[in-house]
Amino acid sequence: MDAFLNASTTSKSPSVGRRYAQTKGRLLKLHVRSFSAVRFVVATIILAVLSPIVVAQTTISTGSIQGTVLDPSGAVLSGAKVTITNKDTGRSATTQTSASGLYTSGALTPGRYVVKVQASGFKSAEQTITVQVGVTANGNFGLSVGQSSETVEVQGATVAVNTEQAIVQGVLTAEQIDNLPMNGRNFLDLAQLEPGVQIQEGSTFDPTKNGFSSISFQGRFGRTARIEIDGVDISDETVGTTTQNIPASAIEEFSLEQSNLDLSTELTSSGAVNLTTRSGTNGIHGEAFGLFRGNQTAAALPGNTPPPFQREQFGGRLGGYFIKDKLFWFVDAERAKQDIAAAEPFTAPFDTLNTTLGKPFRETQVDGRLDWQIRGSAHLFYRFNFDQNSQIGLFGTASSTQGFKNFNHTPSHTVGLDFNSGSYTHSVRFSLLEFRNSIIDGEPPLGVNNPIPGLGINIGAPVVGSCVLSGGGSYCGGPNLLAPQATLQSNHQIKYDGSKVVRNHVLRYGVAFNHIQGGGFAGFFAFPQVGTTSPGASSDPTSYPADYVFLGNGIGFSTPFSAFGYPGGGLGPDNRFETYLGDGWRVKHNLTVIYGLHYVHDTGRVDSRLGPLPELNMWGPGLGNRVRTPGTNFGPQVGFAWDTGGNGKTVIRGGGGLFYENSVWNNVFFDSPARSAKGTFAATPLVCFAGAAESFPWPSDPGPIGTAIAPNSAFPGGSGVSDGAGGVVPQFCSGSGFDIAQAAPGILGLSAAFKAAAAAHPPTPQPNSNFVGTALNAATANGFDLFYPGYRTPRSWQVNLGFQHEIRPGLVLSADYIRNIGEHFLIVVDPNHSGAARSLKLANAIAARDAAQGASGCPTGLGQATCMITHNGSQAGAQSTYSMYGLDSIIQGAGGATCNPITCNFAFPGVNPVSGNSGTVGTLDMLFPVGRSVYSGLQLKLVQKVANPMRGLKAANFQFSYAFSKFTSQVVDQDFVNAALDNDNPTRFTGPNGLDRKHQVSFGGTFDLPWYTRLSLTGHFYSALSRSLILPQLTSGGEIFATDWVGSGLQSNSPGEPLPGTQIGQFQRGTNAGNLQQIINTYNSKYAGTLTPAGNQLVNNAVMTSADMTALGWVMPQLPSVAPGAVDFGWLKDLTLKATWPIKIGERFSVEPSVSMFNIFNFANSFLGGNVPLAQLTPDPTTGLLASNVVGGVTRQNILPFRATFGSGTYASGAPRQFEFGLKVDF
C-alpha cells in the first residue's frame, strides 16, 4: 500500500461530491437463515452454564454489585453470607464471599437493592445500594463483633464514587429522565449532559435517518456509536445510529461509555449507549401525559414570513404484577404529531422567493415487557419494542425544497435470562430486530419550489449540479434524487455473559453472535437533476446554463446478491462473532486491577466473497487480490481503580486499550457495481459535465451512429444520439447553448427513455458496462469506490487517567484526561494518480492542444489563447474546448475514463507502477485504510444529589459538566467515505474536524421548592465549530491548472484544496472573520496569478506560454474580499427551564401541570452541525465579494439560511424560544 501512496497524486473534477456515498439502497421483508455458527454459540452458552470449571463474566449491559467483606481488624472474611434483594420486586439472590472476602452479585437490573451480610460471630450489616446500568457498584462492608441476630444499617451514599471500574462513563436515572426538560422527548437527548457528548440530528448524515438522532462522542460524527437496549444491539449497520426510537418514559436508566470501554461492550471505538427499560413491580403504577407547543406561544422561526407550527405529544405507561413477587408486566406508548411549514430561505438572488416546505411528522412508539422471577436468583424477561415514524423532510439542513417522504418501521423482540449457580453468574440474551426504511419523493406542485415538474434544479453550489451531492447551493428545487429507495436490516442476536469469583479475582467472560442481513435498493436520479456551479444575478432558476445533468436508470441495486426477495442489493450477511475473557483482580481491598482481551470477527463488511479481481493488477501489483476480511482483531485492555483512603471517598482511575470499529455497509454500495462483471445494477451517469456532453452506456443497442433517441418537438433530432459504440450522447448540454428551461424537454425525454430501456431488460444478471475490467476505470464521479485488498478494520487506541472525589455526602467531582487515537479509517486514494503534474505525457499534450485549436479554427502551436477565446465565445468556452480534446486531467476531461487515442489524448493521464503514464487505464478510486484521528480532552463533571440543602429547598439534583478538548482528522466524517485532499500524502491535511468544539459546558438539575413547585433546567453552551478555507473551482475545464497547487491532481470527489499555508479547520481555529482578509491578502500577493505544478509543466515543456495560461484563466485565482460585517461562527447557547406543580390527590394519585421554556433567552443560534457556510471561497457575481453562502460572506443581513430551526423529527436544539404546556397524571 505504501508504494501506491508514495507514488500518489489526486484526481478531480468540479467535485462530483462523494456525498454520493450518503445515499444508498434497500427494501423490506425478513429473511431468516440458520448457521453452524449459531449452533456453536448456543453450545458454548450451554457449556458455560453447566460446566463447573469454566470461568464466566458479569454483564455490564445491566449492572452489578461487587465488594469485599472485612472484620474489625481489616482482615478479609471468607464464607460470609450475602443476600441481595430488589426493593421493588422482592427478587432475592444469595452468594458467599470467597477466600479473599470478595463477592459479586452477577447481572442486576437497575434499581434499589438491600444487601445484607451475615457471618458467625459478627453483627449483620445491611445497606441499600443503587444499581445503575453499566456500573459495578461498591458493596464493601466492615463487620463488627457481635451476635449475627443484631443488624447494623449502613448509610449508603446518594451519589457514589465508582471504586471498581476504570471506565469513563455517566448514568442518567429514571428520575432525571422524568423530571428534566427534554426537547422533543427523543430518548438520546439527555445524553448531552455528559462532558464531550453532543446530539447530532440524523438527517445531517443520511436521508434514511430523518426522525432519528445520534450521539457524537468526543467531536466525532455519531454514526458508529453503539446503541444497546437491555443488553442487545439496535444499531443501524448500513449508515449508523439507531434503528428505532424508544419511549422516553419506558427507560429505567441510560448509560454512556466513552473511554476504556467495558470488555462486554460490543463493536465500537467511539462510544456506547446502554439502556435498560422499566418493568412492573409489586404495585400498580403508571402515568399519562400530554404536551403541546405551537407558534402561538413561540418566538418566530427563521423565515421572511415566520412559518406556523404545532406539535402534540402524548402517551402513558402502566405496570404491575400478575403474581406478586413472581410475574410482572409493563407497557408504555407514546405518539408524536407535528405540522410545520418550514421556511427554506435561499441566498441572493433567490432570497426574495419566500420558499417554504411542509414537513409533517408522525411517530408511534411502543414498549412492552414481561418479567418472571422464576426462583431464587433466576430472572426471565421478554420485551417488545415498536417504532414507526414518517416525515417529509430533507437530507441535511441546507435550505432546499426538494422534500422526500421518509418512512421507518421497526419491531424488535428480546428475551433475557439472568441467574446464579453457586459462585457463577450467568446472563443470556436473544433478540430479533427488523428495520424497514423507505423513501418516496415529496415533489411539490408547480411553482417556485418546483419550476419544471420532474426535474431537480441546483444553482450556485460549489460542486456538480445536485442538491444532495453538492450539499446545498443558492437554490435547490424540484424532485429529490434520492427517491425511490428502501433499506432493510434484520438482526438475530444471541449472547452470553458470566462471572465467577476465585479468591480475590472476578473472572469474566462472554460470547456473542449476531447474524445481520442488510439489503434494499436506491433508484437514485430516477428524477433527473440539472444545475450549474456558476452563480448569477437572475432569480429565475431555469435561466441558468445546463452545465451538469445526472440521469438514473431507476433500477437501484448496488450489489449482485439477492436478499429480502429481490434479485440484487443484498448486503452481507454479516456473521459477527465476539468473545472476551477478563479479570477484575482485587489486589487489595482498595485497589482493583482490570485486564482482559476482546475479540471480534465480522464476515460481511467488505466484498470478500466476490473473490480476487486480476484486472485490478493493471494499476498495481496485488491490487487484484481478494479483499481481506480481518481475522485477528484482538483488543487488549487494562485499567485500575485505586480507592486511596479505602473509604470510597476518593478514587484514582486509569486505563487503556485497543478497540475496533464498525465499517458501515454503505461503503459497500460503491464497490460491488465496479467489481462485478454481471449484475442488475443502478446506473447514474453524469451526462453533462461542465457543459460538455458525455457519452454513457445504453441498456440496449441504441443503433448505428447518429440514431435519434427520444426525439420530441424541442429536440426533433433526438434528446440524445447513438455514438455507434453502445453509448448515447445527450444533445441538451450548455456547451451547445442550452439553458435549463431550453434543455428540460430533452433531459426529461432522455431520462424516460433511459429508464424504459433499463426496465425492458430481463431481470437477470446482465453484462455490466461499469465493470472495471472492461471500463478500465472506477471513479467516484461515476459512483464507484473499491476496497483496497489489504483492508484493515478501523480501530482506536484509548487512554484515560483521572479521579473521582466525594467533596461531601451527595456531591462528587470527576476529572479525566482522555486520549483517543483513531486508525485505519477509509480514505479514497487513486493509485493511478490521475491528473498528477508528474504524469504529463508531452505528446498527448501537444496533440490535444493542436486538435482543440484546429477544431476552433485557430492555428496550431503556441500563443493561440486569444484566438481560442474569440472563437469559443468566452474564456470558459476555450477552457471547455481544450479540456474536451484532452489538455487536462483524465478526471476532468473524461470523468476518469480511458480514452480512444484516435479521438482524444489526455495530457495528464495519471501514472502507476504498471503502465506508467501511458493512459491505458483510467482513474481507480480505492478505499485505503490510512486515515488517522486524535481526540485529546480534559473532562470535568460535578454531580450533586441532596435533601434539604437549605431553607426553602426540599431537594436538589444537579449535574454540571465541562470538556476542554480538540479533535483532529483529515475528514469530517471518518466512518464514511471521503477523498484525500493530497493523493500523494492522504494525511497531509489534518486539523480540527467533524463536530470539534474547544469548549463544551452542559448542566441540568431539578429543585423541589415550596408550594408544590419543582423547577428543572438544562443548559448547553458550546464554542464554535470549525471550517476549512478551500480554493474555489471556477474553471470550465483545466481546474488542475488553477487550484491544484499541491500537484497531486484533483480527485473527482474532493471538495478542493485548502489555501496554501492553511490547514483543515482553519476558520475559527486561528483565523476568524476579523483576520480572514489578511489571509486572503497574503494569498493574493503570493499565489494569485501564478502557475500550479501542472501549469508549470505545460509552460516548461513549451505546450503553452505563460501569457496563454493567464489569458485562459489557468493560473491560481484571485480571491474576493471579505464581505463588510462578515460574522464568525457563534457559540451554541441554549438554556431551558421547566416548572411543574405535582399536586397529590389522595394516597395514590398526583396531577402535574407543567410549562417548559426552551431557549428561554431566545439566543439566536446559527451555524450548527450540518448547516455551516461553504468552505470554497467563491465570489458573488454581483458584488465581487465573497458570496453570501460561503465563509467570510455571511453577514447579519444574509444569515437567515444558517439560523437554527426545527430539524427532522422533533429535533429543535438551539431553535428560537418555544413554550410547551403539559399535564401529567401519576398513580
Task: Categorize the per-residue pLDDT at 445 as very low, low, confident or very high, splitting at 50, 70 and 90.
Answer: confident
CB-side neighbour CA atoms (13 Å) of 1160: 14
- Specify the pLDDT at position 942: 97
Q: What is the mean pLDDT of the chain?
A: 89
Q: d(Cα 900, Cα 885) in Å, to the nearest integer?
A: 11
Over residues 951-962, mean pLDDT: 91
pLDDT at res. 697: 86
Q: What is the mean pLDDT of residues 1016-1035?
A: 96
Predicted confidence at residue 23, as pLDDT, reads 36
Overall average pLDDT of the 177-204 stretch: 92
Amino acid 86: pLDDT = 87
pLDDT band at 716 (very low <50, low <70, confident <90, very high): very high
Give the amino acid at 375. R
User: Would you call 1024 exposed, middle or buried from its count of C-beta atoms within 10 A (0-12, 13-18, 19+)?
Assistant: buried
Confidence of residue 397 (pLDDT cuts 50, 70, 90): low
Quick check: 3 pLDDT over 50?
Answer: no
SS3 content of the chain, % helix, strand, coil (to 5): 15, 40, 45
What are the helix (H) ranges across 776-907? 842-855, 865-872, 875-884, 890-894
pLDDT at residue 26, as a whole number = 33
What pLDDT shows up at residue 790? 95
Strand partners, 795: 660, 823
What does the pLDDT read at residue 680? 81
Count CB atoms within 10 A of the CB of residue 158: 16
pLDDT recorded at residue 463: 63
Residues with Cβ within 8 Å of 35's Cβ and at least 6 positions away in sequence, in order, are 515, 575
The residue written with cell numbers 427507560 in the block is 251
Specify the amino acid at residue 545. Answer: P
pLDDT at 534: 77
Rounded Cα gap, residues 879 and 863, in angstroms: 15
pLDDT at 726: 86
Question: For residue 27, what pLDDT is reported?
Answer: 29
pLDDT of 1149-1188, one tens digit each? 999 999 999 999 999 999 998 889 989 999 988 899 999 9
In the three-class reduction of DSSP (H, G, I as helix; E, B as strand; rest coil), residue 774 is classed as helix
Burial group, residue 459, by CB count within 10 angstroms (0-12, 13-18, 19+): buried
The proportion of the chain whose per-residue pLDDT surpasses 90, expressed as a percent, equals 64
Asked if pLDDT for residue 11 goes beyond 60, the answer is no
Please write the tens of the pLDDT for every residue from 728-782: 999 999 988 999 999 999 999 999 999 999 888 765 677 788 899 988 889 887 7
Is residue 822 within 8 A of residue 1080, CB to CB? The reply is: no
Phi, psi of 425 (to 5 degrees): -120, 150
Residue 894 sits at φ, ψ, to 5 deg, of: -145, 20
Q: What was the pLDDT predicted at 57?
A: 40
Which position has the grid cell 487506541?
A: 797
Name beta bridge partners: 1156. 1138, 1220
Q: Which helix (H) or strand (E) holds 82?
A: strand 81-86
DSSP codes of every residue in 1022-1033: EPPP-B--B---
Residue 892 has pLDDT above 70, yes or no: yes
**Mean per-residue pLDDT, 529-543:** 88
Domains of the chain: 61-154 (2.60.40.1120)
Helix (H) or strand (E) run with residue 929 in it: strand 926-950
pLDDT at 63: 83
The strand pairing partners of 229, in sequence order, are 232, 275
* Strands (DSSP E) found in 3-80: 64-70
- Residue where the block lists cell 500518489: 8
Closest CA to 256 of 941, 921, 722: 941
Which of 283-297, 518-532, 741-755 shows the lowest per-residue confidence on average (mean pLDDT)?
518-532
Model pLDDT, residue 827: 95
CB count within 10 Å of CB 1168 equals 26
Average pLDDT rounded to a whole number, residues 85-113? 85
pLDDT in tens, 1192-1219: 999 999 999 899 999 889 999 999 999 9
Quick one: what percent of the chain has pLDDT higher than 70? 92
- So what's the pLDDT on residue 839? 96
Quote the CA–CA distance of 730 and 747 in Å, as a whole number. 8
* Mean per-residue pLDDT, 610-624: 94
Candidates 170, 135, 141, 169; CA nearest to 153 is 141
Return the pLDDT at 50.
Answer: 43
d(CA 203, CA 190): 19
| Section 516-534 average pLDDT | 91
Q: With a cut of 70, say whether residue 31 has pLDDT above it.
A: no
What local confidence, expressed as pLDDT, does residue 806 receive? 94
When pLDDT is averaged across residues 236-264 and rounded to a whole number, the result is: 94
> What's the alpha-carbon Rg for the chain, to the nearest Å?
31
DSSP letter string over 1133-1186?
EEEEEEEE--EEETTTEEEEEEEEEETTT----B--TT---BSB-PBPTTTSSB
The model's confidence at residue 471, banded by pLDDT at 50, 70 and 90, is low
> For residue 166, which of 660, 645, 647, 818 has the smallest C-alpha distance?
818
Q: What is the mean pLDDT of residues 517-525?
A: 91
Nearest partner of 395 among 480, 453, 277, judged by Cα: 480
Angle at 368 between CA 367 and CA 373, to 5 degrees: 135
pLDDT confidence bin for 571, thresholds 50/70/90 = very high
Selection from 673-677, 976-980, 984-988 with the highest mean pLDDT: 984-988
Whether the bond into 1120 is cis, omega within 30 of 0: no
Question: 25: pLDDT confidence band, cut at 50, 70 and 90?
Answer: very low
